[in-house]
A and B are shown apart, each in its own frame.
Chain A
Amino acid sequence: MDKPKVAIFDFACCEGCQLQIVNLEETILDLIGAVDVVEWREAMSEKSHEYDIAIIEGSITRPEDEKRLEIIRSRAKVLIAIGACATIGGINKLKNNFDLKDVKKCVYADSADKPHVDTEMTKALDEVVEVDYKIHGCPMNNEEFAYVVRCLLMGKKPVIPDYPVCVECKAKENVCRYEYGELCLGPIIRAGCGAKCPSAGYRCFGCRGYVDNPNVDAAKEIMDKYDLTVEDLKSRMVLFGSKQGPTI
């Protein structure tokens, strides 16, 4: 079998997830050996319109980007969204909490009406096209990325965790952030990062998005136990993915 052709694209984002691919260091040489990378603007000069797998970073913020994404989708057999920007809209979605005219005015003042600084409501990739696999996180977890790519190469279906961060956090025997009076989103957020933030002494702020069926009652119980309100929780919830997800 021919090596699968892979192309990597980015939309509105910080390019941190592409950097995570580079950060695989030596491992990336193995992966690159197993596939044929035909386009990756950030790292190489070659370009191609033929590919089997499209790996996409970033969220969609303009109509022209929506069109570009649709073209990529029509060419690719498999489309993988990497990072919170692509999977849930990411930090870019904070913009959606405001009136867009006001957002433009705030940054570009008198030039806010110029067409080239135009913007629309931020969307995750699956709000525009069908997405086959999502690699969550901001930045995405690069080991998970390598795992998904390997699975695809072997024709296996990758398994992405569907349980909350608390499970991994408890396994690491961290002291719960609630004990420090902090509001941690671990109870409702998808695991897979190894409870990265609580392990570094910081609350989970939700970059991997919600688990598929978040146990809302359990979250409420925790709120009650630590004398916090649902409003407190909500105020911390909008960072990644804005107002998406379950209403508590």
Chain B
Amino acid sequence: MSNVNINVHHMTRVEGHGNIVVNASDGTVEKVQWQVPEAPRFFEAMVRGRKFDDIQTIVSRICGICSISHSLVAIKAVEDALSIDISEQTDMLRLLMHYSEQLQSHVLHVGYLVAPDLFNAPSVVPLVGKAPEAVKTIIGVHRVANQMSELLAGRITHPITLVPGGFSKVPSEKELRQLQDTLKAQVKPLQTICDVVASVAGNLPNFERDTEYVSLKQDKTYTFYHGDIASTEGTVKPVSEWESVANEYVVDQSTAKWAKWNRETYMVGALARYNNNAEYLSPLGKEVAGMFGLKKGCCNPFMNNIAQLAEAAHVVEHSIELIDKILSKGIEDERPNISPKPGRGYAAVEAPRGILFHAYEFDENFECTWGNMCIPTNQNHANIQKDFEKFVPENLESGEDNLRQGLEMLVRAYDPCISCSTHFLDVEFVR
């Protein structure tokens, strides 16, 4: 089998639209392309002229799955631009809210989108019949993560309570205690999910490519929210210089931009965070990583899904601790009281899919005059392309169907969120 023609037009089980095109004849690969044909949405243009306190509402709509991360990073950048300070309580509650999204998104991705591949099913629906208990466990943890977002953000998708300077409404002590109890009860179900994934983890392809990994890094913390930008190449930069990390450029095969830093391409996401910060994972997170043999320095992109599981355990464990810390200081119904000054500001947070950058500038009426955003999936596109270029020749003889399946799994492993980059996924084999 040396002639291959793959043309997946709009790949499924990913957020957004993407195409895979592979041409090979007589064992020679002629074309391998990862394309993004999503309709561009122009957020940078749309924020112009909007008031500073409308920004998070607008840019949250970049992505429904990462809406909390987009709101959080926008608020941080707006506060940086307008020299607005926040209280320690606000900071801790925001982190807790951020954890709810990590948990929700990771469970959704591994449970609903990746698991079908490992079980060789086209979607999670047939799995309901095959493994009903596992599916119910996944739904249960997902629901808890959603309830956590609802409590802290005011609703599951597109936060309401996040406003520059603080919160429009904070949860009560009683609500936080209830949340803590619910989270404690999720440890067992999470273990069940890990056991189920472990039983089929042998289906994760054994593929490696030496890669640069980029994430936030903060002193002795497995950080999602604070710190500097770090690369596994040893480079560190302050967040205010993010535009010189994500060097964006436009390519013809994609409406989403590509990015590069020290090397030709880099990867962001759970595996990048793990490769930069593994030693600071919580005990349970480390246990999960150990269970799957995940080690720092891993450069198998498929292991990103395992890093997500380890992070899910970590955020549950750390949320339980964080609630103790918040309650020990007493929760106050504080309202933001701000005196903004015009200026330009930059921020980064770790969205579930990887490091997310925003920047804004405001005039003396506090209206936005300029905005710039760089989302995780865009930073990964070029790296996906480079993975393809190594994966296709290595697996050319496995048969067209297997190769197609492998490529789709590879893209899915990145947990791409194509709608934000704009959208994606279709495989095209051209003979």
Is B one of A's binding partners? yes
Residues of A that sit less than 8 Å from B by CB: 10-20, 22-23, 25-26, 29, 32, 37, 40-47, 61-62, 65, 90-92, 94-95, 97-98, 102-104, 106-108, 111, 114, 116-117, 119, 138-139, 196-197, 200-202, 205, 235-236, 239
The residues of A that contact B252 with a CB separation of less than 8 Å are 114, 116
- Asked if A111 contacts B250 (CB within 8 A), the reply is yes
Q: List 15 A-B contacts (CB under 8 A).
A: A16-B157, A19-B65, A22-B108, A22-B112, A45-B12, A46-B122, A90-B61, A91-B61, A95-B45, A97-B49, A106-B44, A116-B254, A117-B250, A201-B167, A202-B154
A97-B63 Cα distance, complex, nearest whole Å = 22
- Asked if A201 contacts B161 (CB within 8 A), the reply is yes
A202-B161 contact given A14-B420, A116-B255, A197-B154, CB 8 Å threshold: yes
Closest to A200 in B: B154
- Asked if A14 contacts B63 (CB within 8 A), the reply is yes
The residues of A that contact B50 with a CB separation of less than 8 Å are 94
A14-B155 contact given A25-B142, A107-B42, A201-B169, CB 8 Å threshold: no
A201-B14 Cα distance, complex, nearest whole Å = 34
The 7 closest A-B pairs by CB, nearest first: A16-B64, A44-B123, A200-B154, A201-B168, A201-B169, A111-B250, A94-B46
Closest to A44 in B: B123
- Asked if B67 contacts A16 (CB within 8 A), the reply is yes
The residues of B that contact A20 with a CB separation of less than 8 Å are 64, 156-157
A18-B252 Cα distance, complex, nearest whole Å = 29
- Asked if B62 contacts A197 (CB within 8 A), the reply is no
- Asked if B45 contacts A61 (CB within 8 A), the reply is no
A14-B71 Cα distance, complex, nearest whole Å = 13
- Asked if B160 contacts A202 (CB within 8 A), the reply is yes
- Asked if B42 contacts A95 (CB within 8 A), the reply is yes
- Asked if B169 contacts A200 (CB within 8 A), the reply is yes
A130-B48 Cα distance, complex, nearest whole Å = 33
- Asked if A18 contacts B45 (CB within 8 A), the reply is no
Q: Which of A10, A41, A62, A106 contacts B48 (CB 8 A)?
A: A106
A98-B38 Cα distance, complex, nearest whole Å = 21
Within 8 A of A (CB), among B156-213: 156-158, 160-161, 163, 167-169
- Asked if A139 contacts B158 (CB within 8 A), the reply is yes
A25-B137 Cα distance, complex, nearest whole Å = 11
